[in-house]
Amino acid sequence: MNTDDSPALVLQEQPADGVVLLRLNRPNVLNALNLALRREIAAQFRDLGSRDDVRCIVLTGNDKAFCAGADLNEYVDATPTEIIGRNMPLLWDAVADCPKPVIAAVNGYALGGGCELAMHADIIIAGESATFGQPEVRVGLIPGGGATQRLTRAVGKFVAMKLLLTGEPFTAEAAFASGLVSSVVADDQVLPEALKLAIEIAGLPTFAIRQIKELVLESMNGTLEAGLRQERKAFQLMFSTTEKTERIRRFLKKRPQRNSSNESSTNHKEDKKP
């Protein structure tokens, strides 16, 4: 917990209607994840996920680091019992289970737990100079925030094996090429691009956005057949929303009307051709 005179571990802003920006705020240690920061991230996501006025969340760090990983000061002498007592799955799940779309805006380092935190987002916008990696093996650990599963699903077995077994860092361009990152932009455009995308998503039908997120995430856990069944049910459910009706009507009004008489005349002439 923070004392009254200590800086907030996560800064919250609302740069646009429906959009919330969360900034990790431990700059002196490159936003390393200690238990207090993890708990604050989880608390923020639980709150934002329950709010009707929030339609998209952007998570970022600073120019030097999105998040450089776990704070190893809390790991060096920890015992298995102590680690179990920290209930880390509950803290990660608060981000993973957030029903609102989450965009990670990544500058600088996204290593270890920081890379895993980015992978809990739905979209990753990375700066050209961003560096990703899972270096846990180099300090005698393995990833504990889902990288053996999420990274493998994102980039495939053979790329994931190389990255996880060596712990070597990789560039934003390599991350994009392997499917881990949604897009790579100039370093000074990471947050503007993430916010632009968040504003666009926030302006789209909330119920449809939520259904799409649920279905895509579920596609990673089940069979194709099960996923298609769920998609069909969700598609049918969309026809109960008034927003669907209103938006389709607006779309149809914008479409140029066909000239039925000209079309009929053209078809009639074509019929007479040998």
| Active-site residue, from 18, 32, 130, 136 | 136
Task: For Cα atoms 216, 231, 119, give the angle at the middle one, nearest 5 degrees.
Answer: 5
Q: Count Cβ atoms within 10 A of the Cβ of residue 270 and give its class: 0-12 exposed, 13-18 middle, 19 or more buried.
A: exposed
CA-CA-CA-CA torsion sign (97, 154, 222, 116): negative
Based on its alpha-carbon atoms, the radius of gyration of the chain, rounded to whole angstroms, reads 23
What does the alpha-carbon distance between residue 73 and residue 257 come to, in Å, rounded to a whole number? 67
In Å, what is the CA distance from 17 to each residue of 161, 195, 196? Answer: 42, 11, 12
Is residue 231 annotated as part of the catalytic site, yes or no?
no
Token pair for residue 126? 């990375």
What does the alpha-carbon distance between residue 176 and residue 90 come to, in Å, rounded to a whole number? 29
> Cβ atoms within 10 A of the Cβ of 39, count?
17
| Active-site residue, from 65, 70, 121, 175 | 70
Is residue 113 annotated as part of the catalytic site, yes or no?
yes
Cβ neighbours of residue 97 under 8 Å, at least 6 residues apart?
A: 49
Is residue 136 annotated as part of the catalytic site, yes or no?
yes
Is residue 69 annotated as part of the catalytic site, yes or no?
no
CB of 213 closer than 8 Å to CB of 122: yes
Q: For 46-66, b where at least 16 C-beta lie within 10 A, e where not — what string? A: eebbeeeebbbbbbbbbeebb
CB of 234 closer than 8 Å to CB of 215: yes
| Active-site residue, from 65, 69, 112, 116 | 116
| Active-site residue, from 69, 108, 113, 133 | 113
Residue with tokens 């992978």: 119
Catalytic residue numbers, as ranges: 70, 113, 116, 136
